[in-house]
């Protein structure tokens, strides 16, 4: 919940100034709050970045005050949507069931879901983190067919590393990303698993991005605080380009 229309315009203009052309080997996605999507769409016109939303509902329309549909998102140019972010799960009652319903709806309307999965510090300490994340991945992909799986992005969020200044070590990140890819391979096949991009979403910043992005199964980052400053966000883009 950062950046209204004015701040969104200012931030995106700053990103465009620092990175007039996005490197060919890097995909950049920005996901502002719903109130800023139209502004973002206008500012990103003819700029090679994708637009996404932070949430979506699984019905087309109706008496669902405060929700937004896939059709509304497509109307402002969204090609992606974040689903099941840890904060949505913790504060707003998102469940594996609602996450799956949103994933199915997004895919059916040609919007790529960025599905967030991750464990709490308590779950990691109890050594059930792999079991929990595997369950989340399996539930989110329930009834997603092989044809649509390549449109899915998974974002691994070690919840204990979000906004705390803590970061999973590159080895911890790789271990979990590799496990997630194995789960996808078991559900579909190896080609599908390799096609799905798995992002790291736990306090990636310019100072740790290279180590994290160098891991074989870390395909990118779901950037939080570092995305709120044009300098740090474009620094991460440049690091990703260097490693490509």
Question: 175 an active-site residue?
Answer: no
Euclidean distance between CA atoms 190 and 185, whole angstroms: 5
DSSP symbols for 27-74: --EE---GGGHHHHHHHTTTSS-EEEES---SSSSSS-TT---HHHHH
Q: Which residue has the tokens 């790291």?
A: 200
Question: 85 an active-site residue?
Answer: yes
Short-list 163, 157, 122, 120, CA closest to 140: 157
Q: Which of 34, 94, 119, 157 is catalytic?
A: 157
Question: Alpha carbon of 81 to those of 132, 144, 178: distances in Å?
Answer: 23, 16, 23
Distance of CA 43 to the CA centre of its chain: 21
Euclidean distance between CA atoms 151 and 80, whole angstroms: 9
Q: Which of 85, 94, 129, 177 is catalytic?
A: 85
The neighbouring-strand residues paired with 115 are 83, 154
Distance of CA 176 to the CA centre of its chain: 16
Record the tokens describing residue 100, joined without a space: 């799956």
Q: What are phi and psi of 57, to 5 degrees?
A: -105, 165
Q: Which residue has the tokens 């998974």?
A: 154
Q: Which residues are catalytic?
A: 85, 157
């Amino acid at each position: 919940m950062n950046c209204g229309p004015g701040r969104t315009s200012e931030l995106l203009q700053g990103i465009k100034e620092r990175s007039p052309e996005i490197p060919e080997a890097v995909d950049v996605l920005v996901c502002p709050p719903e109130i800023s999507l139209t502004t973002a769409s206008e500012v990103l016109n003819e700029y090679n970045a994708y637009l996404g939303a932070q949430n979506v509902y699984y019905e087309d329309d109706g008496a669902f005050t405060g929700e937004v549909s896939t059709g509304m998102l497509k109307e402002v140019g969204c090609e992606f949507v974040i689903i099941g972010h840890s904060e949505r799960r913790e504060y707003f009652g998102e469940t594996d069931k609602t996450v799956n319903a949103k994933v199915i709806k997004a895919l059916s309307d040609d919007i790529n879901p960025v599905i967030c999965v991750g464990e709490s510090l308590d779950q990691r300490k109890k050594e059930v983190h792999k079991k929990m994340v595997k369950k989340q991945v399996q539930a989110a992909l329930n009834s997603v067919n092989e044809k649509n799986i390549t449109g899915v992005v998974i974002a691994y969020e070690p919840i204990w590393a979000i906004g705390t200044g803590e970061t999973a070590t590159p080895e911890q990140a790789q271990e979990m990303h590799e496990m997630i890819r194995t789960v996808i391979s078991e559900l579909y096949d190896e080609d599908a698993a390799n096609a799905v991009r798995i992002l790291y979403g736990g306090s990636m910043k310019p100072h740790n991005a290279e180590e994290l992005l160098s891991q074989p199964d870390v395909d990118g980052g779901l950037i939080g605080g570092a995305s709120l400053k044009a300098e740090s966000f474009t620094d991460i883009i440049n690091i990703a380009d260097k490693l490509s």
